[in-house]
Amino acid sequence: MPDDALGEALLIRARNAIAGEFGLPPRPEPDHPALRAHGATFVTLTQAGQLRGCIGSLEAWRPLEEDVRDNAIAAAFRDPRFLPLSPEELAHTHIEVSLLTPAEPMAFRDEEDAIRQLRPHRDGMIFECHGRRGTFLPQVWESLPDRHDFFRHLKQKAGFSPGFWSPDVRLYRYEVQKWKEAERP
């Protein structure tokens, strides 16, 4: 069950981190005890329902408060798929924060067995092979609800062809708690 107080604290910190890069004053930040524990987040930015940036951590290696701030700044200014966010865009940029559970390795016999084990709308996935890695948050199931499509696109994100398979493939699954800001005009 998502902790709404934690979600609010994370969303405000993400927005304040981005706003601070433009020299804008911060909103008051509510405290939450989980902010000091290590946590892994992804920060997703959208505008009019379209992706505008998404950067995150797959492993909890620093305090949650630091992780969400750094990932918010990275999503706004360092996602290689987009130009850096401009001050004018911030007012109509929608922020979502996903807090990841620790990734668990999956055991499977072959690709079809791995695909059968996927839990749509629940699993975030990490695909790893030959030094390359890609991940999809569970939210990606909304646009790729078919298990086979989800898996093919994940392989492409990791830098492989949709038909690629190797006995060296390693798969991990995780879940998220997520919080979204209200849509901005």
pLDDT tens across 117-129, in order? 999 999 999 999 9
Q: Starting at the earlier edge strand, list the strands of the sheet with 104-105.
A: 104-105, 170-174, 124-129, 132-136
Kindly state the average pLDDT of the residues 9-37: 97
Q: What is the largest CA-CA distance in the chain?
A: 54
Q: One-letter amino acid identity for 118?
A: L
Segment (H or E) for 56: strand 50-56
Ramachandran bin of 130, using left for φ above 0, alpha for ψ from -120 to 50, beta for the remaining angles? left
Q: Which domains are delineated in the chain?
A: 4-100 (3.30.700.20), 104-174 (3.30.1490.150)
Task: Dump strand ranges (E) for 62-101.
Answer: 94-100
Q: What is the pLDDT of residues 43-69, one digit of tens each?
A: 999 999 999 999 999 999 999 999 999
Q: One-letter amino acid identity for 167?
A: P
Kindly state the average pLDDT of the residues 89-118: 97
